Amino acid sequence: MRGAGPRGGAWGPGFGRGRGEHEHGEADGGDTSHDHANHAHEHHGRGPAAFRHMARIRLLEVLDARGATDAPAPSISELAALIGVDQPRASRLVQGAQREGLVRRTVDPRDARRSVIQLTAAGERALDESRESRRGAVRNGLAGFTPAEAEQFADLLARFAAGRAEA
């Protein structure tokens, strides 16, 4: 069972209804809620909206970073590896972002069998808005901290992130 992880919703507000539960929307085939402990199935990319949004932001972040280098625009398979999803999920993310005008898919001029994905101006704006929203959330979260507490928190968070990177 995956109830303790992001798909199960045990991580708090915005990440599902409660331990092992979430509401199904139209994309999931209904609007009833249920407990994942009572049955085993996987939604394959149809997790809570917060995680769909996070995957899309990772997609845009990767494209933005690649656009700032001389590296060629990535293919779907390369994007999948870079954002940590499987190829079908990456393809669905790109299709959705393309429908919304956030990315464009073109034929690779070096290999006509390959598509390359690039961030559009609208994608850049969406990414800027997401970054500003996250900065605002951090500012709000730190508003009650003293400068010493904020520094200690930053040190602890850096240690946490370094430990996660090593794992």
* 119 DSSP β-pair partners: 103
- Looking at the structure, do residues 134 and 108 belong to the same domain, yes or no? no
Which residue is associated with the tokens 């994608």? Answer: 123
CATH number assigned to the domain comprising residue 104: 1.10.10.10
User: Rounded CA gap, 130 and 59, in Å?
Assistant: 12
User: Rounded CA gap, 101 and 91, in Å?
Assistant: 15
Cβ atoms of residues 10 and 3 within 8 Å = yes
Provide the whole-model pTM: 0.61
Task: Name the percent of the chain in helix, strand, coil, to the closest 5.
Answer: 55, 15, 35
Enclosing domain of residue 161: 123-166
Per-position pLDDT tens, the chain of length 167: 333 333 333 333 333 333 333 333 333 333 333 333 333 333 444 555 666 688 899 999 999 998 888 787 888 888 999 998 999 999 999 999 999 999 999 888 888 888 888 899 999 999 999 999 999 999 999 999 999 999 999 999 999 999 877 76
Backbone angles phi, psi at 141, to 5 degrees: -65, -30
Query: Residue type for 2, please?
Result: R
Question: Among the three residues 83, 104, 120, which one is the final residue of a domain in this structure?
Answer: 120
- Looking at the structure, do residues 87 and 129 belong to the same domain, yes or no? no
> Structural domain tally of the chain?
3
User: Rounded CA gap, 149 and 110, in Å?
Assistant: 53
- Looking at the structure, do residues 108 and 83 belong to the same domain, yes or no? yes
Burial of 138 (0-12, 13-18, 19+ CB in 10 A): exposed
